[in-house]
Amino acid sequence: MNSKERFSNRVEDYVKYRPGYPDEAMDYLVNTVGLTPPFHIADIGSGTGIFTRLLLDRAERVYAIEPNKEMREAAESLLGGYPGFVSVNASAEETTLPDQSVQFITIAQAFHWFNLTLCQKEFRRILVPEGRVILIWNKRVQQQSEFARGYEELVREYGNDYQRVQHGRVSETDFKEFFREGIYQQAVYSNNMKMDYKKLQGRLRSSSYSPLPGEPHYLPLMEKLKKLFDQCQQDGQVEFDYQTELYWGRV
């Protein structure tokens, strides 16, 4: 499937069950990276607007650049009331923004989908001189608990092209080639969620590699997910552990 279409039938679950970003990470962006008004930001691969909403409180204007129609429309519905919100039907490689029109580019949960050579050229075009790019991911912790280890085994066994599309395939080499002179800064924060079984199901279905209802692996996956949940739950919930990872620099 075209990467721009992978989430079209997952939007409702994405909006409801994907995690936000911790206050500590946003404070770091403001106090250390300098993400404060009156800057203009291009939030590229903005999806349903989870990260865009946080940026709108910290910038004069945010261009939410998203090629997927369903995800873009979800963001427009949620964020259309913000005066600084501008929805753009475009891609990372061709943003359609004017030259030197933004001071920051942010990319949340999407960098691993891009053609890095083409988007690097495009980012240099739309950024002001010395503008900065910020990459951010909520990365699932895979080995911290019995539940985390079991969940990883499930998605490896039943996930559609899981190994090919997971964001963990972006490496230090990619960052060094992407950022100017290979120089970038990094910060890491804990970002954990407690989930009942309904939320856990929705979180799994929101992943691009998860089988959906009607696909052959969906029912076996959900049966094993329920078994794992029952084994690991405490008071009807499991802890879903993330690390929020930030990378930023010039391109």
Rounded to an integer, the average pLDDT of 224-242 is 95
Q: In this prediction, what percent of the chain has a pLDDT beyond 90?
A: 73
Give residue 1's pLDDT.
45
Sheet holding 40-44, edge to edge: 85-88, 61-65, 40-44, 102-108, 127-140, 242-249, 185-190
Q: What is the pLDDT of residues 33-46, one digit of tens each?
A: 999 888 999 999 99
Query: Using omega within 30 degrees of 0 as the cis cutoff, is the peptide bond preceding 67 cis?
Result: no
Q: What is the pLDDT of residues 174-207, one digit of tens each?
A: 999 999 999 999 999 999 889 999 999 999 988 8
Rounded to an integer, the average pLDDT of 67-85 is 94
- End-to-end Cα, the chain, rounded Å: 30
Q: How many CA atoms lie within 13 A of 240 on its CB side?
A: 23
Give residue 210's pLDDT.
85
Residue 53 has pLDDT above 90, yes or no: yes
Residue 197 corresponds to which tokens in the numbers above?
């079984």
Rounded to an integer, the average pLDDT of 44-67 is 95
- What is the pLDDT confidence band of residue 2, given thresholds at 50, 70 and 90? very low
Give residue 141's pLDDT.
86
Residue 47 has pLDDT above 50, yes or no: yes
- What is the pLDDT confidence band of residue 170, given thresholds at 50, 70 and 90? confident
**Domains of the chain with CATH codes:** 3-140+166-192+241-249 (3.40.50.150)
Give residue 9's pLDDT.
60
Q: Would you tell me how many other CB atoms lie within 10 Å of the CB of residue 223?
A: 10
- What is the pLDDT confidence band of residue 5, given thresholds at 50, 70 and 90? very low
State the Cα–Cα distance between residues 120 and 46, nearest whole angstrom. Answer: 17
197-205 and 218-232 are packed helices; what angle lies between their axes, rounded to 10 degrees?
Answer: 140
Rounded to an integer, the average pLDDT of 113-129 is 95
Give residue 20's pLDDT.
92
Task: Identify the bridge partners of residue 185 per DSSP, sorted by sequence position.
Answer: 248
